Amino acid sequence: MLNLRGGNYSGNQSKKEMKKHNFYAGPAILPKSVMRAAGKAVSNFHNSGLSILEISHRSKQVVSVMEESESLVRELLGVDDNYAVLFLQGGASSQFFMAAMNLLPADGKACYVDTGTWSTKAIKEAEKFGQVSVIASSKDKNYNYIPKRYRVPEDASYLHLTSNNTIFGTTHHWWPKTEVPFVCDMSSDIFSRPVDISRFGLIYSGAQKNLGPAGVTLVIVRKDLLGKVKRSIPTMLNYQTHIDKKSSFNTPPVFPIYVSMLTLRWIKDKGGVDAMAKRNKSKAGLLYREIDRNPLFQGTAAKKDRSWMNVTFLLNRPELEDKFLAACDAAGCIGVKGHRSVGGFRASIYNAMPRNSVKVLTEIMADFAEKEA
Amino acid sequence: MLNLRGGNYSGNQSKKEMKKHNFYAGPAILPKSVMRAAGKAVSNFHNSGLSILEISHRSKQVVSVMEESESLVRELLGVDDNYAVLFLQGGASSQFFMAAMNLLPADGKACYVDTGTWSTKAIKEAEKFGQVSVIASSKDKNYNYIPKRYRVPEDASYLHLTSNNTIFGTTHHWWPKTEVPFVCDMSSDIFSRPVDISRFGLIYSGAQKNLGPAGVTLVIVRKDLLGKVKRSIPTMLNYQTHIDKKSSFNTPPVFPIYVSMLTLRWIKDKGGVDAMAKRNKSKAGLLYREIDRNPLFQGTAAKKDRSWMNVTFLLNRPELEDKFLAACDAAGCIGVKGHRSVGGFRASIYNAMPRNSVKVLTEIMADFAEKEA
């Protein structure tokens, strides 16, 4: 039995016309209204007769985009003036070293919690700059949980966390108790729920999951933590440069920032991060319930650490994997194949993912189990 | 007298409808056909039912964009397999330090020719990594010429040049005679003319003048020059990382690369860089002839070093500057105000600038001189 209300699982439409349900892990789904407005800005920005792609970053129009983007980040996450909000380039991968370069004195110590591939990369880059102590890890169980009950040394410069682990489908649903400021990679769950910004010294996030297209990185940094390292930092790698020049020391990635601004407006219109959290919890619940109910599937992440953004699951009969992926494909569900580190499947259901698309996926799973029973 | 054939200098149209002639220095004009195709890809990429903004960088479609972009760069500039072609983030401003970080041994020496603001910045960043010798400069005359007749020490690791100086309107129309490989910032004139790639060790270029929108940086590097420095380089800052992973070690800026690919296709369709050079020389000639002929105006750059990309000029009666800018504005010519370092005016007339728009500007100048005579 397959409920077709929201899906396109009928096979009557040509592939070209079929509505797609985009479960890519990133670059990932953005709201349809954002994409429409973005396409329009490429053709004719604000009826200026020019494309947003060809306007000077010093023009009033682009300066206004930069200002509104910053202001929306501050409003949605409750970021006060003690923090700078920056739009940089180079992805979270560049923040792995920039965080340590700017915040870890050569004779200091940084603590890291290792919750998967991205944490591991962050650790590797930080080790080039000072002492790095990995105080907890879930590597023993292929990162299927978030480590708990570890102690954070009070003399650490910062504690690095990866709030959501895209590959392993785990999330910090709580934060460690410590006075040490967090440095946090929020690439895959920023704006998906409220956070208490005052606990964080630095938040960084590649845009291409919950915020915008690839090509811009959001950085939120507590200004009083800067300027304490003695090393010589190239101008472009010093957060202070970008604070002083309001993210326009050099030409910023205008279009990715513009699309991010449109997404932030959409989040605000939908009720902000509280509304997002409610919606995300409910969407994820729908999928986890099907995984737990369906005898053919099992989740990979520890239940209390399950991500609302990336839902990882396996088939109990792995020989059916290709067949299941074909069923997904036939219904317009794309990007469901799991990362090679975990295998199986991963459904990335970021803010912009309609509840209905999640429902279509659960229906495919139910139908598949029935057929294969 | 004003020839209205191509212009919109009639005042009959509302500002909203008026055709714009975009003389911005960067982000700058791109071909209309590129903007149309880019807007379409944002709405629906290759009839996939998805936007190019929400497709995984590991998808076949995006991998194909990366491959075609590289292949077009190789074809248009004649880049052989001894060189890598990379699409990175962070702009030329990041290449200022990455070039030295990757190519200048701590006990080595790099030579720089100082031809203006961007050269000066490149020098400042390189000094953090080794000995930097500024072997020639045109600072004595506010960078209005390209230094000549200097000697390049044979033991230098590289000679850094800025091929075209956006702010000062000067260009290298010749290259120094030396066996030392050039490291060259071609941000504002790449693909505007043919170059003998074999003279270059490293070419870098922010996209936002002749190539695409802001947010991607083209790097062409001779592979045998790498791996010779001993310092520890963060993974993201090591050219070798991006060579090994074909510019997809981390998520590349997909959309800026896609638009660059469209522009490269356009250049190829128009006859390649030889055709661009012919067209650019002719367009620039049109404007310089008006500057030289018109008693109200004078060029700022030494005649033999005049840029084909950025034409800088002054009013002989500076009190008329605002009035002239208003005349430009009334005719839809935007971005003509000069950089504060030079004053006066700057018309940036990159590859995509139609000859007709240049003509409109010369007509405004002629008309203005007649009225003010």
Contact between B235 and A89 using a beta-carbon 8 Å cutoff: no
Q: Do B251 and A216 touch (CB under 8 A)?
A: no
Same structural domain for residues B288 and B365?
yes
Answer yes or no: do B92 and A250 touch at CB < 8 A: yes
Note whether B92 and B217 are same-domain residues.
yes
Domain membership flag for residue A300? yes
Position A17 confidence tier, pLDDT thresholds 50, 70, 90: low
Residues from chain B that touch A336, judged by Cβ atoms under 8 A, are none
What is the pLDDT, as a whole number, of residue A18? 78
d(CA A82, CA B118): 33
β-bridge pairing B200-206 and B217-222 = antiparallel
**Is the CB of B49 less than 8 angstroms away from the CB of A20?**
yes
State pLDDT tens for residues B212-243: 999 999 999 999 999 999 999 999 999 999 99
Give contacts of B 264-303 with A, CB under 8 A.
none
B7 interfacial to chain A (CB closer than 8 Å): no
Residue B344 touches chain A, beta carbons under 8 Å = no
Give the domain extent around A95: 36-269
Of A48, A215, A334, the CB nearest to B255: A215
A357 assigned to some structural domain:
yes
Chain A residues whose CB is inside 8 A of the B90 CB are 89-90, 94, 236, 250
Question: Is A16 within a domain?
Answer: no
- pLDDT of B284 strictly over 70: yes
Whether residue A5 lies inside any domain: the answer is no
Mean pLDDT rounded to a whole number for chain B: 95
Q: Is A23 on the interface with B (CB under 8 A)?
A: no
B34, B53, B336: best mutation site toward chain A, by most A Cβ within 10 Å? Answer: B53
- A14 pLDDT more than 90: no
Q: How many helices (H) and strands (E) does chain B have?
A: 9, 14
DSSP string covering A96-155: HHHHHHHH--TT-EEEEEE-SHHHHHHHHHHTTTSEEEEEEE-GGGTT-S---S-PPPTT
Residues of A within 8 A of B47 (CB-CB) are 16
Looking at beta carbons, which residues of chain B come within 8 Å of A48? 20
What is the pTM for the complete model shown?
A: 0.95
A76 located within any domain: yes
Q: Which residue of A has its CA nearest to B210?
A: A54
- Does A18 contact B at CB distance below 8 Å? yes
Q: Same domain for B296 and B265?
A: no
Hunting for tokens 């090679």 — which residue is that?
A340
Please name which of B28, B309, B358, B283 lies closest in space to residue B165, comparing C-alpha atoms.
Answer: B309
Interface of A with B in 71-90 (CB under 8 A): 89-90
Query: Looking at the partner chain, which of A25, A26, A256 has a beta carbon nearest the beta carbon of B253?
Result: A256
- Residue A14, in any domain of the structure: no
Q: Are residues A124 and A198 in the same domain?
A: yes
Are residues A145 and A238 both part of a single domain? yes
Rounded Cα distance between B299 and B338, Å, is: 12
Which DSSP string do the residues of A356-369 spell out, in sequence order? HHHHHHHHHHHHHH
* Same domain, yes or no: A183 and A236: yes
| Pick from A32-36, A77-81, B12-16: least confident | B12-16
Residues of A serving a catalytic function are: 118, 185, 209
Looking at residues A76-80, what average pLDDT do you find?
A: 98
Inside any domain, residue A224: yes
How distant, in Å, are the alpha carbons of B3, B8, B11, B319 from that of B372? 18, 21, 19, 12
Which CATH number do you get for residue B368?
Answer: 3.90.1150.10
Half-sphere exposure of A81 (CA within 13 A, CB side): 0
* Average pLDDT rounded to a whole number, residues B74-91: 98
Q: Is it true that the peptide bond before B105 is cis, omega within 30 degrees of 0?
A: no
**Of B199, B231, B274, B211, the residue nearest B69 (C-alpha):** B211
| DSSP-derived secondary structure for A4-61 | -SS--TTS-S-TTTSPPEE--SSS----HHHHHHHHHHHH-GGGSSS-GGGS-TTSHH
Dmax of chain A from CA atoms? 66
Taking each helix axis from N to C terminus, what angle separates A272-293 and A254-269, rounded to the nearest 10 degrees? 80
Residues B222 and B141 in one domain: yes
**Strands lying side by side in the sheet with B83-88:** B83-88, B217-222, B200-206, B182-185, B158-162, B109-114, B131-137
Q: What is the pLDDT of residues B101-160, one digit of tens each?
A: 999 999 999 999 999 999 999 999 999 999 999 999 999 999 999 999 999 999 999 999
Instruction: Inspect the interface and report whether the beta carbons of B26 and A332 lie closer than 8 Å.
Output: no
Contact B53 A213 (CB under 8 A): yes
Position B15 scores a pLDDT of 46
Q: Are residues B222 and B243 in the same domain?
A: yes
How many CB pairs (< 8 A) connect A and B? 210
- Asked whether residue A123 falls in the same domain as residue A240, the answer is yes
Cβ–Cβ gap A39/B43 under 8 Å: yes
Same domain, A91 and A133: yes
Mean pLDDT computed over B303-331: 98
Same domain, B202 and B349: no
What percent helix, strand, coil does chain A show, rounded to 5? 40, 15, 45
A91 in contact with B, Cβ within 8 Å: yes
Instruction: Pull the structure tokens for residue B38.
Output: 């880019």
Chain A touched by B25 (CB under 8 Å): yes
Give pLDDT tens digits for B318-372.
999 999 999 999 999 999 999 999 999 999 999 999 999 999 999 999 999 999 9
Q: Is the Cβ–Cβ distance between A207 and A28 less than 8 Å?
A: no
**Of A269, A290, A313, which closes a domain?**
A269
The tokens for A110 are 């940084």
Encode A264-286: b = buried (16+ Cβ within 10 Å), e = exposed: bbbbeeeebbeebbebbeebbeb
Tens digit of each residue's pLDDT (9 = 90 or more) over A299-327? 999 999 999 999 999 999 999 999 999 99
What residues in A contact B261, CB-CB < 8 Å? Answer: none
Would you state the torsion angle of the CA atoms of residues A91, A97, A101, A103, taken in this order, to the nearest 10 degrees? 80
Q: Which of B209, B283, B337, B359 is catalytic?
A: B209
Q: Is A175 on the interface with B (CB under 8 A)?
A: no
Select the residue from A52, A56, A88, A118 to test the B interface by mutation, using most B Cβ atoms within 10 A. Answer: A56
Residue A13 pLDDT > 80, yes or no?
no
Would the CB atoms of B232 and A16 count as touching at under 8 Å?
Answer: no
Residue where one domain finishes, among candidates B246, B269, B292: B269
Phi/psi-derived region of residue B191, left when phi > 0, alpha when psi is between -120 and 50, beta in every other case:
left
Asked if B54 and A28 come within 8 Å (Cβ–Cβ), the reply is yes
CA distance A358 to chain B (A): 17
Average pLDDT over residues A238-258: 98
- How high is the pLDDT of residue B13? 44
Q: Which residues of B touch A92 (CB under 8 A)?
A: 250
- Candidates A29, A55, A216; nearest CB to B54: A29
Q: Which of A235, A269, A303 is the last residue of a domain?
A: A269
pLDDT tens digits, one per residue of A108-146: 999 999 999 999 999 999 999 999 999 999 999 999 999
Residue A11 resides in a domain:
no
Residues 303-342 of A with CB under 8 A from B: 332, 334-335
Q: Which residue of B has its CA nearest to A210?
A: B54
pLDDT at B18: 77
Residue of chain B minimizing CA distance to A26: B56
- The tens digit of pLDDT for each residue in A104-118 reads 999 999 999 999 999
Residue B231, chain A, CB below 8 Å: the answer is no
Q: Within its chain, how far is the Cα of A126 from the centroid?
A: 21
CATH number of the domain at B246, please.
3.40.640.10
**pLDDT class for B17, splitting at 50, 70, 90?**
low
| SS3 state of residue B36 | helix
Residue A177 C-alpha, separation from nearest chain B C-alpha, in angstroms = 31
Residue in B closest to A92 by C-alpha: B250
- A57 contacts chain B (CB < 8 A): yes
The domain tally of chain B equals: 2
Same domain, B248 and B321: no
Polymer length of chain A: 373
* Residue among A16, A208, A237 minimizing CB distance to B251: A208
High-pLDDT (> 90) share of chain A, %: 94
CB distance A214–B254 less than 8 Å? Answer: yes
